[in-house]
Amino acid sequence: MKKLFTIITILITLSLIGIIILQVSWINNTLLIKEEQTRENLEISMYDLTSELQEEKSKFPSIVSPKMISEWPKDQLLNLFKAPTIAQRYTAFKMYEKLRKSFDRHGLRNTKFEFAIVSENNNFGYELQSGRFEASYEKSLEDTVNNLVYYWPINALEGSETESLSPNETLIVVISDFKEFIFRSLGWMIAGAILFTIIILAAFYITLRALLRQKKLSEIKSDFINNMTHELKTPLATISLAVDAIKNPKVINDPVKLDYFSTIIKDENKRMNKQVETILQAALLDRQEVQLRLKTLDVHHILSGISENFKLQLNERSGYAKMELNAQNDQVQGDEVHFTNMLSNLVDNAIKYSREDVPPILHISTQNSGNSLRIRVEDNGIGMSRETVSRIFEKFYRAHTGNIHNVKGFGLGLSYVKTMVDAHHGKIKVESTPGKGSVFVLEFPNAID
Ligand code: ADP
């Protein structure tokens, strides 16, 4: 079981790591391909646009009719209609629209871009003619980490009407936040991959937890069966021995011995009965078939009765129970049998889990707080670790440390206590120091007369 569990965990962990690595490399590849594709589309779209612009630039504006071109002397035409530059022909807004349209046509719908048209000036530098820039023009050009910059010449074609009539221009296009654009265009894919990876991780976690719980459950179960066998076998063995003894003619004729052995049989019988009761009760609680017969209870009376019942057991070990029943109002609404059982269980545990080296001293007290009754059961026993305290109310839980296993039980007592505290709308708190002792504090609403 344990081996299988380890193998499953290792296999799933390995495949998870594999899946995550594959996903990351797959996303990386897709990003690269997408980037390549986008660059290609950008270039095609720019090429198309600039070819169109170059052709336009190679002709005189449309007011110069073909007839004029063929009939008028060229130098006259030149004087009259200086072939205008693209920057002159289009406003920045129009140019922006042209670019946008061209990009949209090539599947680059959401690209953010800025542009400029520059022309060479006499000092061999560039001069900005027209453009649209959100930040400053130089700044956008410099930020080559985030931005992608294209320089495309727009010159009149060789041998055309207007060749060398208008200055050379360059269209500069800056695609802003290019990487982010690529990333965003794959957003859904990446989000999906991350989401499904998280789902797989969560499923793995839940499965592991369920497996662990199952494992714990099966341990608890086998513990319980061991305990039960032991608990039932011991009285059976004692009874068998006592019966054998009675069969002995010497014993049959001796009333004192006969009484002694029959008392043993009776006691062991009672013990077994109590154990069977505990198990049956737990089964009933499980099916939630317990019906509370509510009436007003005098808790002080119940506590005194319990202390009386345990007196003998305590005296045997030179211990005692100190009672401080200080509550003014000790009445609560409850089921007498279950309420008594519940408190009895706590006192029983306080004695069962006492230290061997010191006499058990219990301190049972009551107190009113607001409209509720607080009952404290304190012992000077072996105490519990923090981990134990957090689990004692679980069914079948028994602390596994020290020599506690010498003390018999099914681990059902406190789960019964908890169920009953809840059924009586109460609260229970536990404080414990290993080696020093434990305190159980219960609080119930007072009965309203
Ligand atoms: P059981 O006594 O049959 O084992 P319980 O549900 O009554 O089952 O108690 C669960 C566990 O809580 C015990 O096995 C013991 O380890 C611990 N425990 C309960 N009461 C005390 C106490 N007063 N002092 C120390 N440990 C206690």
What is the per-residue pLDDT across 389-430, written as a single tens digit (0 to 9) for each? 999 998 888 886 544 446 677 888 899 999 999 999 999 999
Q: Is 113 in the pocket of ligand 1 (CB under 6 A)?
A: no
Q: Is 438 in the pocket of ligand 1 (CB under 6 A)?
A: yes
Which amino acid, 272? M
Question: Do residue 298 and residue 275 come from a single domain?
Answer: no
Question: Do residue 237 and residue 379 come from a single domain?
Answer: no
Tell me which of 358, 414, 428, 442 to substitute to probe ligand 1's pocket, judged by most ligand atoms within 8 Å of the beta carbon.
Answer: 414
Question: Do residue 126 and residue 58 come from a single domain?
Answer: yes
326-339 confidence digits (pLDDT tens):
999 999 999 998 99
Classify burial at 169, counting beta carbons within 10 Å of its beta carbon; exposed 0-12, middle 13-18, buried 19 or more: buried
Question: Do residue 321 and residue 199 come from a single domain?
Answer: no
Question: Do residue 61 and residue 7 come from a single domain?
Answer: yes
Q: Is 60 in the pocket of ligand 1 (CB under 6 A)?
A: no
Which residues on neighbouring strands pair with residue 377, listed in sequence order?
364, 440
Tell me which of 278, 379, 392 to substitute to probe ligand 1's pocket, judged by most ligand atoms within 8 Å of the beta carbon.
Answer: 392
Q: With 80 as the cut, is the pLDDT of residue 132 above it?
A: no
Question: Do residue 181 and residue 196 come from a single domain?
Answer: no
Q: Is 399 in the pocket of ligand 1 (CB under 6 A)?
A: yes
| Atom of ligand 1 minimally distant from the CA of 410 | 3
Tell me which of 223, 398, 432 to substitute to probe ligand 1's pocket, judged by most ligand atoms within 8 Å of the beta carbon.
Answer: 398
CATH number of the domain that residue 260 is part of: 1.10.287.130
Question: Do residue 353 and residue 260 come from a single domain?
Answer: no
Question: Do residue 207 and residue 352 come from a single domain?
Answer: no
Question: Do residue 58 and residue 33 come from a single domain?
Answer: yes
Question: Do residue 211 and residue 311 come from a single domain?
Answer: no
Of 255, 286, 317, the domain-final residue: 286
Q: With 70 as the cut, is the pLDDT of residue 121 above it?
A: no
- Taken in order 254, 259, 261, 262, the sign of the CA dihedral is positive
Of 236, 265, 286, the domain-final residue: 286
Average pLDDT over the chain reads 86
Question: Do residue 330 and residue 423 come from a single domain?
Answer: yes
Please give the tally of structural domains in the chain.
Answer: 3
259-313 confidence digits (pLDDT tens):
999 999 998 898 888 888 888 877 777 777 778 889 999 999 999 999 998 988 8
Instruction: Give the Cα separation of 142 and 111 in Å (integer).
Output: 19
Taking the centre of ligand 1 as the mean of its atom positions, its distance from the CA of residue 293, in whole angstroms, is 27
Nearest to 152 by CA among 107, 84, 95, 83: 95
Of 221, 254, 286, the domain-final residue: 286
350-362 confidence digits (pLDDT tens):
999 999 889 999 9
- Taken in order 56, 61, 66, 72, the sign of the CA dihedral is negative
Question: Do residue 303 and residue 230 come from a single domain?
Answer: no
| Atom of ligand 1 minimally distant from the CA of 278 | 3
Taking the centre of ligand 1 as the mean of its atom positions, its distance from the CA of residue 445, in whole angstroms, is 26
pTM: 0.57
**How many helices and strands, by DSSP H and E, does the chain display?**
14, 11
Q: Is 409 in the pocket of ligand 1 (CB under 6 A)?
A: yes
| Atom of ligand 1 minimally distant from the CA of 437 | 24
Q: What is the mean pLDDT of residues 229-240?
A: 86
The pLDDT-based confidence of 125 (bands split at 50, 70, 90) is low
Instruction: Give the Cα separation of 179 and 135 in Å (integer).
Output: 18
| Residue 80 domain boundaries | 2-185
* Inter-residue contact 374 to 367 (CB < 8 Å): yes
Instruction: Give the Cα separation of 138 and 284 in Å (integer).
Output: 83
